[in-house]
Amino acid sequence: MGLTFGNPAGLWALGAIPVILLIHFLQRETRRESVSTLFLIERLHRETQKGRRLERLRHSASLWLQILAVILLTWLLVEPRWLRPDSVQRIAVVLDDSVSMRAFAGDGEAGVPELPSVLRRLQRGAAETEWILLESSGRRGTLYSGSDRRELLERAGNWRPQTGSHNAAPALRRAIASVHPGGSVLFVTDRRRGDAPEGIEVLGVGEPIANAGFTGLRLEEREGRLVWRALVRNYSEQTETRTWWAEFDEGTTKPEEIRLEPRGTLALSGVLPESADRAALVLESDRFGLDDRLPLVRPAPKTLILAAPDADSPLRAELTAFLDSLEHWREAGPQENADFRFATFNPAEDPAGSGVFFALADPAPPEHTGAPVTAERHPLTENLAWHGLDAAPVETFPLRPEDTTLLWRGDQPLLVLRENRGQKQLLVYFDLRTSNADRLPAFVILLHRFLDELRGAKIAYARRNVHTGQRLQLAVDPFGEAVTLRSETGPEQPVTASRASLLRAPGDPGFFSLHQGDNLLLEAAAHFADSREADFRDAETFRLEPGRDRQREHLERNSHRDFLAPLWMLLLGGVLLLSWRCSDRET
């Protein structure tokens, strides 16, 4: 049967023992009395003759009785409780999956030396303990579940955080639900977070550290050359000096030293050689190394293939102007399947294939009645202004249930999104020739967004730059072979084609690729860009424990009081009385 204490702070009462010993070390000054005869003087104990000073400790009954009284009082104050042999508790340990934790992660116990002692203390709350190890992002599910505390610590030691800034509240609420009723939740983090619910214990293991690293990347074409521009930020309050260089397949540039002002940002730029499709910018490493390396690749978006427009199309002039603003496309060759087309259509018939289809009014439609143009909430219309659109709707036929109307004039549709036999179609229900849509930025941007959706759904090779941990929107053959992610920083990750949409970029900066069977679908570079996780000014070491009432409720559920407490109280009173009698007799 285990022993625990309801009020460990009562152990401070033991501090009275040194005080008692000090008092007994001190001797009182001798008093002189004049008498006429010597036989009236009682035999006295030897006392100091030089006044109050420290002497050799004398063993006396009052000394030991006073020490015994302090021990009894301490025993009553700590409220001893005996664990019930059938008591069981569940404890969930939630590790903060923010990558900022890597600055404080070492070998064993997830780099938290305090974790084993905290778990031992929590384990004393019941005779048996069931452990659950989770992470705040919930990406990898339950890391451990069982009754072996050492196994939990080993799993925590092998765990590595890999998520950017995120809300830990959902994972913490699930942890609370998994241990209810009567369980405990321990959240291990590196800073105080506002998303931690009340009633859980929080262990902070961070500390403010100086950090500088890459925080952004921009690539643009200038005079036929690819120019990169990267930002380096100093997150600390003091000036930092760092050395940086660039690595290419052909070699490494000469290291250069840069000076970063407190909380300052510095821009670096250069040209990617024509013979190189990838490079890496490297900064002198510090304690947080994720932002010290910035890999990049030469972007190569998927190329859309346009079906050749009809030579006698009445919209040829308008469409030619739009195609001039479109990048990464080409016309289909002989016997080549097109990805999209621009064409006119009859609203009474179904257009064929993917693309943008324009209805024509013949004769010209009457002017609109002045009803306002309203847009539905949709990714294609987000943050676009349509109040300047001058377009009269043509006669429409009843829409299908699966149609999504994007734009209305009054109760008549102007733009409709349709999925027709697996083909995405954008139907324009106004005459482009008599409207100002081709000169309206909102309409042009919407067409670009629609074609980007078609590009994203195309199964083809691409090369691009992404953030670490970013969800990869990858088009794959749903009935094809497994999709495999291969990276420089970890093992291969094969998944079925149906789960390819769940793939994320690696958590460490580096180059990686995606394959479906022998087909290369993506070559990419992942770089760290979460500036909130790279700022350690608010990191600290702390401990927040649940309320006293909650702890007492948990303890009372799994233990019972010391039934001899009244006896100890009576014994304490008797010891105090006996000590007073002995002290008076000795004096």
Cα–Cα distance for residue pair 208/191, rounded to 1 Å: 10
Quick one: tokens of 118?
A: 């905290």
Q: pTM of the full predicted structure? A: 0.74
Q: Is the pLDDT of residue 394 over 90?
A: no
Name which residue leads in pLDDT, 435 or 512.
512
Per-residue pLDDT reduced to its tens digit, 218-275: 999 888 899 999 999 999 999 999 999 999 988 899 999 999 999 999 999 999 998 8
* Buried b or exposed e, range 480-515, using 16+ CB within 10 angstroms: eeebbbebeeeeeeeeebeebeebbbbbbbbbbebb
- In a 10 Å sphere around its CB, with 0-12 CB exposed, 13-18 middle and 19+ buried, how is residue 49 labelled? exposed
Stretch 479-500: mean pLDDT: 89
Burial pattern 112-130, b for ≥16 Cβ within 10 A else e, equals: beebbebbeebbbbbbebb
What's the pLDDT score for residue 442?
Answer: 93
Determine contact, residues 515/486, Cβ cutoff 8 Å.
yes
Per DSSP, the three-state class of 246 is: strand
Task: For 335-373, write each residue's pLDDT tens digit.
Answer: 888 899 888 888 888 888 899 999 887 765 555 556 888
Does residue 526 sit in helix, strand or coil? strand
pLDDT greater at residue 36 or residue 49: 36
Give the rounded percent of residues in the chain with a pLDDT score beyond 70.
Answer: 86
What does the pLDDT average to over 548-568? Answer: 67
AA identity, residue 425? Q
Q: Residue 47 is encoded by which pair of tokens?
A: 């006392």
Check if the beta carbon of residue 136 is closer than 8 Å to that of residue 95.
yes
Q: Please check whether residue 61 is in contact with residue 574, taking contact to mean a CB–CB distance below 8 angstroms.
A: no
Residue whose pair of structure tokens reads 């902070």 in the numeric block: 204
pLDDT at 587 over 70: no
DSSP reduced 3-state for 239: coil
